[in-house]
Amino acid sequence: MTLNNGQSSNRCLNCHSQGSTTNSLIPEGFYEDLYISHNCWASEEIRQWRSTKEQTDSRYRSYWDLLTAGFKLNCPRCSQETNRRPKFIGHSPNWEMCCTECAEIDHNSVSPYEYDLSPWHELWERFMRGELDLEEEWESLLRLEAQSNIPKRRCSCGGVYSMLAKPRCQGCNAVVFDSIFHICDGFYS
């Protein structure tokens, strides 16, 4: 998303510096044309700016919530607490796949060194910005999964690990969160 407030894309939102080798500019994340200098990233001014944005812009708040690793939520069916995190974020570049029938996750399933994951990353960006409706685009997602040539592996429960499987509760196997871009597990508990 672009923030049209006249802010130059090559200056820090807070201190207006152009950055340097010791104080580089970092993309803000949600707003494509907004940068924050390394020195200002954790400043009180930027914290207050983010807090105001979260209160006034629901898409901004949602974006940062969806990026949070270890975001706690409860299963809508059995209320068991779980942790949600985005796929492929962290030390491993692999894209985890969930089982279509149970809460199992294949953490090493799809490597960007073996498969072109750029279309998935583009969809992930659209989803994170609130620009992708999974139901509306389900048919095109099915075609993308078929074209990706990612092998279908069976889970021990009989289900299949799929790029399109949504995260399930470890207690009752209900879908916990309506996203194909997240997993739910106890990894961060």
Domain layout of the chain by residue ranges = 1-56, 67-185
Residues 6+ apart with CB under 8 A from 67: 29, 86, 89, 128
The pLDDT, as a whole number, for residue 66 is 81
Q: Which residues pair with 185 in a beta bridge?
A: 83
The answer to whether 56 and 48 are in contact (CB under 8 A) is no
Average pLDDT, integer, range 151-163 = 93
188 has a pLDDT exceeding 70: no
8 has a pLDDT exceeding 60: no
164 has a pLDDT exceeding 80: yes
The answer to whether 96 and 155 are in contact (CB under 8 A) is no
Q: How confident is the model at residue 92 (pLDDT cuts 50, 70, 90)?
A: low
